[in-house]
Amino acid sequence: MTTEHSETLSSTPGADAGAVGAWLAEQLDDGRWRESTLRSVGAGRSNLTYRVSSAAGDVVLRRPPVGSVAATAHDMGREQRVIAALAGTDVPVPAVLAASDGGPPVDAPCFVMEMVEGVVPLDALPPGWAETEADRARVGQALVDALVALHAVDPASVGLADFGRPEGFMARQVRRWGTQWEAARADGISGTDEATEQELTRLAERLGSTVPEAQRHAIVHGDYRIDNCVFDGSDPGRIKAVLDWEMSTLGDPLADLGLMLVYWYQAEESQVWRAAQHLPSPTRLPGFPTRAEIAAAYGRQSGLDLSSLGWYVAFGGFKLAVVLAGILARVRAGAVPPEMAKGIEDAVGPLVTLGHHVLDHGVDGVAASGRID
């Protein structure tokens, strides 16, 4: 995890410092953990993350959202398993230190991992870090390198042969997120207007009828982006840890690239791209690669054909639209705090429009062949 640029001090719903400290003292065989403090880390829209501090040091605790019933989306056992399995590979991950299937310390499945100090780039870069264009270019290349390394890992070689069902992965993904969307829509709590609802449903239908054949089966992260990585505070070209593996499984590696490009902003944008960009990102700054450059580097290093990249980007926009619509629906229903909707109130419609746009016109700057225009 990180200390720089990503923590917000707040209440800690879902975790009690006394209970966590007592459990850690037993699990890590060190009584100093009994006197622990907790600090919430991140926005809390997915799994909850806490920094646990004591005289024994600092660790990170992860647990599902309070009251969550979406077990597959918040599976602590899966997240713990993939992180532990990737230890010793070229994929940078934190070490898993302890885990619970439920009950103590938080009355839910959870695990504890090492604290990885560094920088998590959010809406702005911390002063003095990656200040030159050359360093920002290295940040972008490091993201590509880590993603290529992940997709090169043989799942069976790290004990993950049964981590998912890669055959038919993308078709199931379209159905899964489409079903999730239709369920929210049927309940009348979609959080979107009628025109957006119709276009989101139409996007699901378009994606479902044009699913490309996977070129390779790989471990996929499921939410790979710049702010899910901890970078070296003194070397912007080095990722120390990739975080937030709750959506990981076995599947089509281009799903990770497609979603990453949806999150990736650049200085020169067409209106349809700029309108869809509601979440924070620093990548408009000079020196960061463009989406086309990111795609070209990934294609060159992975050896994968990017001629269907537009479909994967469209799917990424669709998936993110459904996720954000779900958050807005829960806010409107009073199930989660109103602040969880901050910044995303008008995000769903433009993401749907982006999905249709890339299906019709491809990814701006990337030719149908996967080469840079």
Q: Kindly provide the b/e burial profile for residues 1-11, where b requires at least 16 CB atoms within 10 angstroms of the residue's own CB.
A: bbbebbbeeee
CA distances from 158 to 84, 220, 321 (A): 9, 14, 33
Q: What is the 3-state secondary structure (H, E, C) of 186-247?
A: HCCCCCCCHHHHHHHHHHHHHHHCCCCCCCCCEEECCCCCHHHEEECCCCCCCEEEECCCCC
Asked if residue 82 has pLDDT above 70, the reply is yes
> What is the pTM (predicted TM-score) of this model?
0.91
- pLDDT given for residue 191 in this prediction: 56
What is the dihedral angle through the alpha carbons of 310, 315, 316, 320, rounded to the nearest 10 degrees? 150
Taking only the tens place, the pLDDT of each residue in 201-244 is: 999 999 999 999 999 999 999 999 999 999 999 999 999 999 99
Task: Report how far Cα 372 is from the mean position of its chain's Cα atoms.
Answer: 26
Distance in angstroms (rounded) separating the CA atoms of residues 307 and 333: 41
- pLDDT given for residue 3 in this prediction: 44
Token output for 156: 């069976």
The superfamily CATH assigns to domain 133-361 is Aminoglycoside phosphotransferase (APH), C-terminal lobe (3.90.1200.10)
The superfamily CATH assigns to domain 17-114 is Phosphorylase Kinase; domain 1 (3.30.200.20)
Taking only the tens place, the pLDDT of each residue in 259-302 is: 999 999 999 999 999 999 999 999 999 999 999 999 999 999 99
**Where in the chain are the domains?**
17-114, 133-361
Asked if residue 4 has pLDDT above 80, the reply is no
Query: Prior bond to 105 cis, omega within 30?
Result: yes
DSSP 371: S
Pairing of strands 239-242, 96-100: unpaired
What is the dihedral angle through the alpha carbons of 68, 71, 73, 78, rounded to the nearest 10 degrees? 130
Name every residue whose Cβ is closer than 8 Å to that of residue 344 and which is 6 or more positions away in sequence: 278, 279, 324, 327, 328
Distance in angstroms (rounded) separating the CA atoms of residues 195 and 202: 11
pLDDT-based confidence at 65, cuts 50/70/90? confident
